[in-house]
Amino acid sequence: MGLSKDFFDGPAEEIARRLLGCTIIHKLPDETLKGKIIETEAYFGSDDPASRASNGKTKISRVMWEPAGTILVYVVHSYNLFNLIVGEKGKAGAVLIRAVEPLKGIDKMKAKRKTDDIRNLCSGPGKFTQAFCIPRAYNNKNLEDIEALRIIKRKSVPEISASHRIGVREDLKEKYRFFVKDNNFVS
DNA sequence: CATATGATGGACT
DNA sequence: GTCCATCATATGG
């Protein structure tokens, strides 16, 4: 069962929290990869200096104005980063998936990541897309339109911790990085 | 354990 | 040319 249609409607901060504990599934031709989302970051529009959207619409950032549920994939330092667009149409906002707890297809992930350390498979935004084989072609597509990729709603609400975002040059004073408390697979 | 540094490719000015 | 929403190594305590 997938997500309800309005799952991604709302402020980025709220959706980032809502995604924690949810299961993400990627069906490959030979194997199904499964993981629990345990770390996210919220990004906003023009008021957020760390957001791609703060400089208006560019090739990358224009996707942030697409409808909620749109996927945004872009490259930083030769790694793919996977974001989900949130909020209402006409307003920029996105949630970055930073880390996932591996649940299924772990051997495949190990092969992809070239490591046997299970804690090193998905503990970072670039690591996650590598382990889960997230292609850049998913950019600007709606989650509902991609058969192979599904996010399953969590069964219970995990305990959530917050901190400042990672790797950004100029952050806001609020804490917009959220992660499951005491989880061993955060970045 | 911590911090530092080089590799890396695409987008942007 | 410069700038990164990164990662894997290397080095020091």
Digits of tens for pLDDT over chain A (187 positions)? 577 779 999 999 999 999 999 999 999 999 999 999 999 999 999 899 999 999 999 999 999 999 999 999 999 999 999 999 998 878 999 999 999 999 999 999 999 999 999 999 999 999 999 999 999 999 999 999 999 999 999 999 999 999 999 999 999 999 999 999 999 999 9
CA-CA distance, A148 to A144, in Å (whole number)?
10
Separation between the CA of A55 and the C1’ of C12 (whole angstroms): 40
pLDDT for A3: 79
A79 touches strand B (CB under 7 A): no
For A1-55, the three-class secondary structure string (H helix, E strand, C coil) is CCCCCCCCCCCHHHHHHHHCCCEEEEECCCCEEEEEEEEEEEECCCCCCCCHHHH
Of all nucleotides, the one whose C1′ comes closest to residue A62's CA is B11
CA-CA distance, A16 to A44, in Å (whole number)?
12
Q: List bases in chain B with any atom under 7 Å of a protein Cβ.
A: 7-13
Separation between the CA of A117 and the C1’ of B2 (whole angstroms): 21
pLDDT for A111: 96
Of all nucleotides, the one whose C1′ comes closest to residue A77's CA is B8
pLDDT for A1: 59
